[in-house]
Amino acid sequence: VQLQASGGGLVQAGGSLGLSCAVSGRTFSNYRMGWIRQAPGKEREFVAAIRWSEGIEYYPDYVKGRFTISRDSAKNTVYLQMNSLKPEDTAVYYCAASTEDPIYRGSYYWSTDYRGQGTLVTVSS
């Protein structure tokens, strides 16, 4: 699976930004597609995921209600719409793919099989 992310940039707090991820390389109907992020000096963290076939969505509490993941099967593209952005959302965002659902153990953990190059999102205060 090849993942090509785009759409990062600089936005003010409270603003919106959309990310796209073009997916190619193999049959991925049984995959979960999504996003993870990593801020400088911090651990990588789960952002959102969607089951490609069923469209079931997963969000951690810190983005729920603000971020929306979607997919366009005809375009083989996954999207992340980010609204009400906060400075703490600043990070490099990576598109990722996995055959596993995110698992909740007090916080979400998502084991990914593939990860694309990152795109930087900077939210200014």
Report the distance separating Cα 88 and Cα 13, nearest Å: 9
pLDDT reported for residue 29: 81
Which residues does residue 115 pair with via DSSP β-bridges, in sequence order?
Answer: 96
Task: Name which of 68, 95, 93 is nearest 82 in CA terms.
Answer: 68
Q: What's the confidence (pLDDT) of residue 46?
A: 97
pLDDT in tens, 7-43: 999 999 999 999 999 998 877 788 999 999 999 999 9
pLDDT at 26: 74
